[in-house]
Amino acid sequence: MSAEDAAAPVMAGDLSGIVGRHLIYAYDNGWKYELYVRNPYTVAFRCLQGPMFGRWSTEQPVKMIQLGGDQYKIAWVEPTGTVTVLIAWLGGRSVHTTICYPQWMLDFPESTLGRYQDNLDQIIAERDRGPTYPQALVASTGRITYLAIRDLDDDTVIDCPPAKLPLGYADRTN
């Protein structure tokens, strides 16, 4: 596989059931995340609770496929080198995620706590300094506590750091 093939967008199946969705999900370990599927190629996310609280991105490139019905797999590689694969089952209101953190992030997570797009040069320099190995593999299961339909590419869905959200924001349910 060439680098061009790896960088090409992947879409399989009907993504209309996931594109435009705004989710808040809580993992069994107490971590909470927010995900907004901006379009078939990009998501925005925020860490609302847990050791990575404060990390967020407004334009994370992804590869998405429909696994079947209302089940989708969304995968991405962050500028930190973190690899995330998330399976969302909307009807079952559950997520199953595997995240692979590079060692440098485990040693110095504070350097990534912010909006990636604002600190990209620093994050890339730290990533390149490493070490990228060993890596920590975290597999988590959680429940979708909030699910809404939003317009595509709506910059107002995820537009501020988690610390600036109103009190109780992460605890919303529907």
CATH number of the domain within which 54 lies: 2.40.128.20
**Residue 156 belongs to a domain:** no
**Residue 131 belongs to a domain:** yes
Domain count, the chain: 1
- State the pLDDT confidence band at 117, using cuts at 50, 70 and 90: confident
**Residue 90 belongs to a domain:** yes
Compute the distance between CA of residue 70 and CA of residue 23 in angstroms, rounded to an integer. Answer: 14
**Residue 169 belongs to a domain:** no
**Is the separation of the CB atoms in 132 and 104 below 8 Å?**
yes
Its domain, for residue 124, covers 3-151
Is the pLDDT score of 5 beyond 90?
no
**Residue 28 belongs to a domain:** yes
Model confidence, pTM: 0.90
Q: Residue 2's pLDDT is what?
A: 54
Is the pLDDT score of 1 beyond 80?
no
**Residue 136 belongs to a domain:** yes
Residue with tokens 């060692």: 103
**Residue 42 belongs to a domain:** yes
**Residue 95 belongs to a domain:** yes
**Is the separation of the CB atoms in 53 and 169 below 8 Å?**
no
